Structure 1
Amino acid sequence: MLALFAVSLLWAFSFGLIKGELTGIPPALVAFIRLGFCFILFMPLALMAKKYRPNLRLVLLGSIQFGVMYLAYIASYQYLPGYLVAVFTIFTPLYVMLFDALLTKRFNAVLLLPVLLSILATAIIVFKMPDSGQVLTGFAILQLANLAFAFGQVAYKHYSVTLDSPHKVNMASMYLGAMLLTALAALPQTIGSDIVISQRQWAVLVYLGLIASGLGFFLWNLGARQVSAPLLAIMNNAYVPLAVLLALTLFNENADITRLAVGGGLIIISLYWAQQITQRLENKVD
């Protein structure tokens, strides 16, 4: 759980950083550069492992969780204002629970209650009435990103426990798949085009690639292995109140403090509720 909280704080800070720094760079190229740095960071660790060979299943899984997610996420900005991107990511916990139920062939409606509470809590913080005619298109694209990220983390949670390889080696294979997919997507956007990336933008990309993405996804999937599906689902929205809080304190943006307090409080309650339900069910099994 500590790893998930750490990543939530990391991504909350990164959200404000991304907003105004990477305009003018093709979205697929941004995704490729970030995921390329992820692969560069973890490939030496994988090579130090004995008899390392890329796990093709993890390569495919990484192309979905990180590659498809980033491509769809960044593309959604062409149709949605920033606040609606934040609003429409709040459904990811539902997809986490859906995929976990499909993979385990078990579903308990009681476990869904705290997850729904966390979605309501996040909506209280970020929801505004949409004012764009392209909302449905953007919503559909963003749900593809949410589905890809939800499937990847749940699939890794269950598949990784069957592997003998360490987590850092597994992530190298996943980053390889994500980098290859985004490279294919970026190629048409870069051939014959005059793209200029400033030193400041390179600094942001290095930070986002090595720290926010590389270290962040590593810790996120590590944390996914250690918690129950409902807690993992709820933590997918935990970055939202943190992002709003940082927007107030570090980036001098406006936000409704009352909504932040109510929504943040409800997310804490939902985490506690999910933990209590999970422990009660585990005790019954024992």
Structure 2
Amino acid sequence: MELFQGIFDSLGITEFVKPSIGITDVLDILIVAYIIYKIIFWIKETRAWALFKGILVIFALAAVASILKLNTILWILSNTISVGIIALLIVFQPEMRKALEQLGKGKFFSYFTRSDDAGDEKAAARTVDEIVKAAGKMGAVKTGALILMEQEVPLGDLERTGIPIDAIVSSQLLINIFEHNTPLHDGAVIIRHNRVAAATCFLPLTDSNEVSMELGTRHRAAIGASEVSDAYVIVVSEETGKISVARGGVLYRDLTTEQLKTMLSQQNQTGRKKWMIWKGRPEK
């Protein structure tokens, strides 16, 4: 301790105050560190990463200009910072919206938004069976299809672009909707609470540059819809008849009907387990 006191004396520091760190301080630091980590991790997975690196370069240049006393550059930066903040909000608007959507899709809120119908295991299992049956039959005859199974994030914005149906899910209904040259075949079907909510819905296309060029508009729309929601998006290719599922911006291609049923059944079991816990009934 005397060694450190001598160093402080040489630096002109006459009094050394030992910092007091409590549990709340440690918790505060951990929360801030986690938030910064999540922000960087999220930015790195979006187009904003290149823009973020450009901003870091500008700050580095400002630091160099401050050290070297480059007054003209400092004057330009100081007078444009207010405009720059507004410009950043405009440039990062899609990424900020996606971040807020991801926040709203958090598991905490899912316990408050699940309805009674979502806990109906028999209805959910029947819905999965009908979707799998329809996908298999449409794939066999190469009938293109696009089906969204709503989860925690409401798909009201997408539903309003289509035509309301409000019917029980059945393979015959789905096949009839996507039959060639029928009024409802163009667009997507949205399934909510084990019912067909709407058809001919328009979906946003993905902006990802990592999507294979061999994929058409239907697959790009499926990926785009899965990027802005937590829905399971089932796609049947009109060219090959192969079945794919988009989830969280990832496309799982060339699935068999058994694999499709497994994926959809697992998500239904997960949703039911969350509901049972919230209602206070232990899962057996």
Q: Same fold (TM over 0.5)?
A: no
Normalised by the length of structure 2, the TM-score is 0.26
Bigger relative contact order (CA 8 A; separation at least 6): 1
Normalised by the length of structure 1, the TM-score is 0.26
Q: Is the strand fraction higher in 1 or 2?
A: 2
